[in-house]
Amino acid sequence: MDSVEKGAATSVSNPRGRPSRGRPPKLQRNSRGGQGRSVEKPPHLAALNSGPGAAARAFPLKNKHLGGGSRSLAGSLRAALDSGVFQSVWVSTDHDEIENVAKQFGAQVHRRSSEVSKDSSTSLDAIVEFLSYHNEVDIVGNIQATSPCLHPTDLQKVAEMIREEGYDSVFSVVRRHQFRWSEIQKGVREVTEPLNLNPAKRPRRQDWDGELYENGSFYFAKRHLIEMGYLQGGKMAYYEMRAEHSVDIDVDIDWPIAEQRVLRYGYFGKEKFKEIKLLVCSIDGCLTNGHIYVSGDQKEIISYDVKDAIGISLLKKSGIEVRLISERACSKQTLSSLKLDCKMEVNVPDKLAVVDEWRKEMGLCWKEVAYLGNEVSDEECLKKVGLSAVPADACSTAQKAVGYICKCNGGRGALREFAEHIFLLMEKVVNSCQK
């Protein structure tokens, strides 16, 4: 259900009791250098992602946490940038790492002050401060980074409601079919009572429209409302999002669930995924945990996880070639004893050149190649391929170069996890081709 649902329009008065009005048309210089009232420019609609900062101590940097392999912050930025309805896209943060992620995806950064970066600060505080520095902005679309399943089409429809249909504020909701009961409080209320149903006539789900709840994905509001202290007011409407797109990463326990939802329903950019045909895996720190044991007779001993061997087998059964690579002159005899039946290259000074050679040999484009790496030497490959990942214990340079960070460490199931990730994305490719 992609249709836009609108709530009843209502008005909010300002604190002085006068109806809220937008600002008068701006005066612009004409071609002769004089001033006069010219045709109004379209109102400046800015997307503002209130990213987390150093004060987010309950779940540190939670908005940068991976949701289905893509940073939830990056996912919401992609949707805003690809929607094409914003004159500017911003991230408000006081944290250097969040700033780097924002710039990497093409967003501008507003470095918010310590006054609006406290644990007690609200999104509205940050928005008001942002507007005080940007007089050009007429409308703010406050997009929550904790909603990684937002799609550009949602934002396009809301922008139309604001610009074409004259709404002062629009916010996102989701429809839920949940029966609510009053809370029991000792000494106040000893029994519970139904709040939205008659227990004697309980409706079936299909016979009940349910109720609308804010899902926190976004809040659009015109400048004059925000300056009065409102994110919702004036002529209001809601925008109903699809239930499967209403993912809100508010607590740690939600992340594993959200990751799976994002893989199935998330937005990954304008460019369509291509089916993966080749997976290249770095041996040390990915296939293995990076530990090397040396026997008394100077033979090298390594260990690997059976789950990863099963992952390789499943990939090959799905028609995906798996090849191994290492910059170290590790023993091919030792690797062969693992009986993984994979082509491998060791003592490789330039991994990108070897992967490029393999790609050309198989007649593939880079989008059809996946890469699992964990070191600085893997960085260029991770950036070049269509799908990249690192184990949870990969170095920071490698982590910053990828779209998916595994929950498992190298040599402890990361390869199997990446294989499952690939299968889910390939399912998405197949489904999109069938539509």
Q: Token digits for 426?
A: 């390939």
CA–CA distance, 140 with 130 (Å, rounded to integer):
10
CA–CA distance, 262 with 266 (Å, rounded to integer):
4
Q: Taking the CA atoms of the chain, what radius of gyration do you get in angstroms?
A: 26
What is the secondary structure of 237-274 as a DSSP string? EEEEPPGGG-----STTHHHHHHHHHHHH----SSPPP
pLDDT category at 428 given cuts 50, 70, 90 is low
Which DSSP letter does residue 428 get? H
Which of 169-183, 214-228, 320-334 is the least confident region?
A: 320-334
Higher pLDDT, 221 or 29: 221
pLDDT category at 432 given cuts 50, 70, 90 is low
pLDDT in tens, 370-401: 999 999 999 999 999 989 999 999 998 898 88
Using a cut of 0.85, tell me whether the model's pTM lies above it. Answer: no
Of 432, 391, 423, 71, the C-alpha closest to 276 is 423
Side-chain half-sphere exposure of 374, counting CA atoms within 13 A: 24
Q: Are strands 35-36 and 28-29 parallel, antiparallel or unpaired?
A: antiparallel
pLDDT in tens, 122-175: 889 999 999 999 999 999 999 987 777 889 999 999 999 999 999 999 999 999
pLDDT for residue 253 is more than 60 = no
What is the secondary structure of 296-355 as a DSSP string? TTS-EE--B-HHHHHHHHHHHHTT-EEEEE-SS---HHHHHTT----EEE-S-S-HHHHH
Which of 7-16, 29-38, 385-394 is modeled with the greatest confidence? 385-394
pLDDT for residue 90 is more than 50 = yes
Catalytic residue numbers, as ranges? 202
Q: Which residues share a beta bridge with 221? A: 140, 169
User: CA 223 → CA 47, 165, 188, 267, 302, distances in Å?
Assistant: 13, 17, 43, 29, 62
pLDDT for residue 368 is more than 80 = yes
Mean pLDDT of 82-96: 92
SS3 (DSSP) at 404: strand
CA–CA distance, 76 with 78 (Å, rounded to integer):
5
Supply angle C-alpha 405, 311, 273, rounded to 5: 55
- Are 49 and 76 in contact by the 8 Å Cβ rule? The answer is yes
pLDDT number for residue 39: 58
Domains and their CATH numbers in the chain: 45-184+192-197+206-265 (3.90.550.10), 278-434 (3.40.50.1000)
Mean pLDDT of 356-374: 95
pLDDT category at 247 given cuts 50, 70, 90 is confident
Percent of the chain whose pLDDT exceeds 70: 76
Q: Which residues share a beta bridge with 344? A: 324
Which of 101-105, 213-217, 302-306, 333-337 is modeled with the greatest confidence? 213-217
Of 266, 310, 262, 290, the C-alpha closest to 418 is 310
SS3 (DSSP) at 176: strand
Mean pLDDT of 298-306: 74
CA–CA distance, 60 with 132 (Å, rounded to integer):
28
- Are 311 and 416 in contact by the 8 Å Cβ rule? The answer is yes
Which of 2-16, 46-60, 102-116 is the least confident region?
A: 2-16
pLDDT for residue 267 is more than 50 = yes
CA–CA distance, 279 with 336 (Å, rounded to integer):
18
Mean pLDDT of 1-23: 40
pLDDT number for residue 262: 73
pLDDT for residue 323 is more than 60 = yes
**Phi/psi at 278 (5° precision):** -140, 130
